[in-house]
Structure 1
Amino acid sequence: MQCAARAAPVTAHAAASARQRRPGRLVVRSVAAEPATQRLTKDDLVKYIAAGCRPREQWRIGTEHEKLGYNVADGKRLTYEQIAALLTRIQERFGWKPIIEEGKIIGLTQDGQSVTLEPGGQFELSGAILDTLHKTCAEVNSHLYQVRSISEELGIAFLGVGFDPKWRYEEVSMMPKARYAIMRDYMPTRGDLGRDMMFRSCTIQVNLDFESEADMVEKMRIGMALQPVATALFANSPFKEGKATGFKSWRSHVWTDTDPDRCGTLPFVFEEGFGFERYVDYVLDVPMYFVYRNGTYHNVAGQSFRDFMDGKLPGLPGEKPTLVDWETHMTTVFPEVRLKKFLEMRGADGGPWRLICALPALWVGLLYDEQAQSEALALIADWSHEEREYLRDNVPRDALATPFRGGTVQDLAKQVLAISRGGLERRGLEEAKFLNELEAIAESGITEADRLLALYNGEWNHSVDPIYSPAFTY
């Protein structure tokens, strides 16, 4: 399948409210899809993804990061009312536009950015599409300044971690988004940790462009194989419910028991013939969550998008999908690297300010320079399926200390960072400095999780309460 010309919006009405390139775990348009006038074909769905191809000079960077809000007085997670107050003050003071669902503020938009809420109130910035890491980091700084200045007035603060260190699922308030209730109820039917993912985890993510189908395939393979390296470098979630879990990235482990239909490393990515069509087949076979029509989320959890295309969806008999529905369904799959009209790198824990800019730097260095991309592809070329799965399964527990090919993932991380630094230096934009923090972690072998565990086993006397202090908050 060749790349198509950039597709026009599905409809003018839908395009006005679309988050076309905002990442988020679950991106949904705020308007209902218009009734389908003709049956979608699989070729339509393939062309939809192919329309994302961009010439190299148009490649951009989109960064997302989530953080965990809590009350300064007692460390408890925030209620919706507290988050609504924060959103409202940011809107009024800094000129953002509110996102409203059923009369309640659930997010903000401004200049291509959006602030949205994950199910448990995790506070997320989905950044604008920018051309340099300098602009990405400036965007992060501006957002954190706004959040911090108002949080102090409200007696709240935010942790940069990958997983809630203390509070149980039952102690977390659910945000007032109808689709989250559907997901919450469906998750336990497919895995034991899906609700943990929804309500207690946080990530940093970067979205990157591809030039052609062949370029997408290379980037997808590099991203999928090396995602455990990012997981190791950003490991920052060793605690759950006040105890050490035995994992340095509990957040990453959670994804292994969330939903086998929509998560994982997608072995077919490495098979001959992989491309846009094969990915479409995969997404078509992922069960649906819901369909949005006339302001209502219809629960069709577990039902088939293929049946939807034939007008035979049990939950909405006779209804057929539009490309808006397809775009929505694509956001409900959660592999380690997700393909839409761009690629999403999803392997990193949430972290402190100094690491937010490092995640896009890592992947831009690897994938936005031809030589670096070739070197990264050569690095993983002879890895077997078993080795890739070994890394995915073991890195969440041991991070950089994970044994691999006669060495450790620490050794592998040093190689990957050297390739990335070369790619950034050849971009000629003085962006390589954003790798400094990761290089220090790789050199020492000490991740954020290792640092937290040393405190927990030492001066914190096996308590996680000291993490709720200014030293660990934004």
Structure 2
Amino acid sequence: MTIRAFDFAHQTTVPNPKHVASLVRFFESGIKTPDHRGFGVEIEHLPIRKSTGKAVTYAEPHGIRSVLQALAQFYDPTREYYEDGHLLGLGRDGIAISLEPGGQIECSLGVLSHADDLEQLYTEFRRDIDPILDRFGIRLINYGYQPDTSYKEIEIIPKSRYHAMQKYFSHIARYGFCMMRASASTQVSIDYFSEKDSIDKLRIGTAVGPILAWFFRNTPFFEKETNPFPLLRQEMWDHIDPQRTDQLWGLYDDNYDWEHYATDVLTTPVFIADLSHTPEYTGDRPVFSAPFDTAADLYPDRELNQAEINHLISTHFNDVRLKNFIELRHWDSLPLPRAQRLTEIVSSLFYDRSQFEGLLSYFDGLRAVDVREAKADLQAHGADARPYGQSLEFWREFLHAEGTLDTEPGDPERPEVFQE
């Protein structure tokens, strides 16, 4: 494959060819047959104290650590995740529980065969955790941002990756601390059937994700005030780090392929290196370090293993992210009925061949600048926006998003935060 020189305008080095090949093979491993149409759904929850409505942190008495310790009895002990003696994750078939930097509780559900399967797995998750939450006086709420707590009041959980992220974002990001400590999202993952199909889905997902984010917006509050941004999650992420957020570099170029994606990942400085799965590690630096080197400087001259690949990809936070599946990342934390509706829409758009081909035809010739313009239009004009020159009512019908949000979420008086 030939990679055009201008694609490296933002890069500082040339990647190790063995590293590129290993990422491309990783993407190849994700190819599914067209009859395999699975989903993964991740829902992050904001924990608040019932008595006050304030965020609950990891280490406080009867906090998130206590919740995980009590919840562990329902999960596979071989899938518990610890760092420096701190319990930070649980897992069993179909459900994985992890923590975001501010103690937000994320449940990852799947692989699901149908959108309807989401309700069953999510109900299982809540069946086990809700009695424990009641015991400790905690509620989980589904908003895109903490309703009555500033990011300044929330401590980062004891995880080296997140402390490195905090240090890095403190230098470059306007809303980096806000995003890490007080925000929550819903993400949907889908399969792809070939390299071309994956690129098509990356392009379409990047194009329509902001519009669906408007229909599924769920952030009434920001820093204890009424949220001033039509799409707060987008506002935070788009201004965090242009090297690793927003849309993928070169995505709408005619020759964009997996090698381009791999090169972008491998030549972006790594803000935290995880060497815990590198066999050649000699202890000459911390296992988790933040050298701001590229992968070619950090890892040996060989193909990367899957853990190293997953780590490198996870340090990129694009609107749509390629792993050995495709991860759509645009949306605020949603309660179950809305998350299920979102999953249904994603299913129809990306897995119904006639609908997907209709999207490909409609967006034929789309440019990266067109997507940026559409995002800016939504952020500047909200309900009056006309992304890609069409009204939001047009997009509601075109994207089969009937039944989605028509009014602003939440209530300035916050009754839903404090009442059961």
TM range (shorter): 0.7 to 0.9
The equivalent position to 1:273 in structure 2, one of 248, 255, 258, is 255
**Identical columns (%):** 24
CA distance in 2, matches of 1:281, 1:320: 14
Retained in 2: the 8 A contact 1:188–1:195?
yes
Task: Kindly state the Cα deviation for residue 152 of structure 1 after the two structures are TM-superposed.
Answer: 1.4
Q: 1:398 to 1:167 in 2, by over 3 A?
A: farther
- The equivalent residue for 2:85 is 103
1:361 has 2:344 as partner: yes
Task: Kindly state the Cα deviation for residue 390 of structure 1 after the two structures are TM-superposed.
Answer: 1.6
- The equivalent residue for 2:246 is 264
Q: 1:42 to 1:320 in 2, by over 3 A?
A: closer
The equivalent position to 1:131 in structure 2, one of 94, 100, 113, is 113
The equivalences for 1:446-457 within 5 A come to: 446=407, 450-452=408-410, 455-456=411-412
Q: 1:399 to 1:355 in 2, by over 3 A?
A: farther
- The equivalent residue for 2:419 is 470
The equivalent position to 2:403 in structure 1, one of 414, 418, 440, is 440
Retained in 1: the 8 A contact 2:151–2:223?
no
| Residues 290-309 of structure 1: per-residue CA shift (max 9 Å, x gap) | 23335953322422113234
Q: 1:118 to 1:297 in 2, by over 3 A?
A: farther
Amino acid in structure 2 at the alignment position of 1:42:
V
The equivalent position to 1:413 in structure 2, one of 396, 400, 403, is 396
Task: Kindly state the Cα deviation for residue 389 of structure 1 after the two structures are TM-superposed.
Answer: 0.8
| Residues 304-343 of structure 1: per-residue CA shift (max 9 Å, x gap) | 11323466xxxxxxx9954421221111101110001110
| Residues 328-359 of structure 1: per-residue CA shift (max 9 Å, x gap) | 11111011100011100001111222112122
Amino acid in structure 2 at the alignment position of 1:45:
L
Secondary structure, counterpart of 1:269 in structure 2: coil
Retained in 1: the 8 A contact 2:252–2:366?
no
Structure 2 residue runs of 5 or longer lacking an equivalent are: 2-15, 278-285
- The equivalent residue for 1:324 is 307
Task: Kindly state the Cα deviation for residue 439 of structure 1 after the two structures are TM-superposed.
Answer: 1.7
1:40 has 2:18 as partner: yes
- The equivalent residue for 1:35 is none
Secondary structure, counterpart of 2:409 in structure 1: helix
Task: Kindly state the Cα deviation for residue 205 of structure 1 after the two structures are TM-superposed.
Answer: 0.6
Task: Kindly state the Cα deviation for residue 40 of structure 1 after the two structures are TM-superposed.
Answer: 3.3
TM-score (norm 2): 0.87
Task: Kindly state the Cα deviation for residue 49 of structure 1 after the two structures are TM-superposed.
Answer: 1.4
Task: Kindly state the Cα deviation for residue 267 of structure 1 after the two structures are TM-superposed.
Answer: 5.2
Retained in 1: the 8 A contact 2:38–2:190?
yes
Retained in 1: the 8 A contact 2:102–2:182?
yes
Task: Kindly state the Cα deviation for residue 54 of structure 1 after the two structures are TM-superposed.
Answer: 1.1
Amino acid in structure 2 at the alignment position of 1:194:
G
CA distance in 1, matches of 2:287, 2:105: 23
The equivalent position to 1:403 in structure 2, one of 360, 382, 386, is 386
- The equivalent residue for 1:9 is none
Task: Kindly state the Cα deviation for residue 368 of structure 1 after the two structures are TM-superposed.
Answer: 1.1
- The equivalent residue for 1:350 is 333
| Residues 408-447 of structure 1: per-residue CA shift (max 9 Å, x gap) | 2232122111xxxxxxxxxxxxxxxxxxxx52236xx32x
1:337 has 2:320 as partner: yes
Amino acid in structure 2 at the alignment position of 1:43:
A
1:234 has 2:183 as partner: no
Q: 1:247 to 1:294 in 2, by over 3 A?
A: closer
CA distance in 2, matches of 1:216, 1:39: 22
TM-score (norm 1): 0.77
Q: 1:173 to 1:270 in 2, by over 3 A?
A: same
Matched residue pairs, number?
A: 393
The equivalences for 1:50-449 within 5 A come to: 50-81=28-59, 82-92=63-73, 94-97=74-77, 98-266=80-248, 268-294=250-276, 297-309=287-299, 322-396=305-379, 398-404=381-387, 407-417=390-400, 438-441=401-404, 445-446=406-407
CA distance in 2, matches of 1:179, 1:95: 24
CA distance in 1, matches of 2:160, 2:249: 33
| Residues 208-255 of structure 1: per-residue CA shift (max 9 Å, x gap) | 110101111111111011111121111111321221232132122101
> What is the alpha-carbon root mean square deviation over aligned residues?
2.3
Amino acid in structure 2 at the alignment position of 1:133:
A
